[in-house]
Chains A and B, each alone.
Chain A
Amino acid sequence: QSALTQPASVSGSPGQSITISCTGTSSDVGSYNLVSWYQQHPGKAPKVMIYKVSKRPSGVSNRFSGSKSGNTASLTISGLQAEDEADYYCCSYADKRTYVFGTGTKVTVL
């Protein structure tokens, strides 16, 4: 149950697009289309932004999109806004019916 690997930080200017990668193995990301992404502002509980690789819960902006290729999933935020500045975590269903989170990425809006 090793954590999925994410870049520690990603930054972009308002209006730009950024992509956060999430690399796992054939025991998690690579075997299941069950990757989800969470946004967490300081001192707050996480909020789901994407589930099942690319599905958006109702109420989540369509500026957020997800994809997957092999053992790596990605979250893209387009039209970056100040309110998008937060920590982002990926999560995957894994072998032995468990879940594993990513290491987390701090997104900074310049």
Chain B
Amino acid sequence: QVQLVESGGGLVKPGGSLRLSCAASGFTFSDYYMSWIRQAPGKGLEWVSYISGTDDIIYYADSVKGRFTISRDNAKNSLYLQMNSLRAEDTAIYYCATLPDYYFNYWGQGTLVTVSS
């Protein structure tokens, strides 16, 4: 069965950096676009970024462009999100999800990132 497990969240100071990971299993990882989606506490969902299976197609939301970098390692069945210059408004649960056909199919349980001094 498909499983996505995020890790790497935690407390970080404004201006700091954090790298999130998403370990995938139960499907052919390299065949799928993957995405990060976040949800601030008590708020709605916000799409963050996606990457193609061969990592030649990458897009970001304007709110994170230039600060976040999505990447993947198909040999390790892993998706990553490098987050730099973090701001208080980046505080959220970060979910990774498969993106098979213009919709987010399988989701992980999320990892909480808190940006606070």
Contacts and interface: CB of A to CB of B under 8 A. Distances in A.
A104 B50 CA distance: 21
Contacts of B95: 45-46
A1 B45 contact: no
Interface residues of A, number: 25
Contacts of B105: 48, 57
B44 A98 contact: no
Given A45-B110, A48-B103, A52-B102, 11 more contacts: A1-B61, A36-B104, A38-B104, A46-B104, A47-B107, A51-B101, A89-B44, A91-B45, A91-B103, A101-B45, A103-B44
Interface of B: 35, 37, 44-47, 50, 59, 61-63, 95, 101-105, 107-110
24 contacts: A1-B62, A40-B45, A45-B95, A45-B107, A45-B109, A45-B110, A47-B107, A48-B104, A48-B105, A51-B102, A57-B105, A89-B44, A91-B45, A91-B103, A96-B59, A98-B59, A99-B50, A100-B47, A101-B37, A101-B44, A101-B46, A102-B44, A103-B44, A104-B44
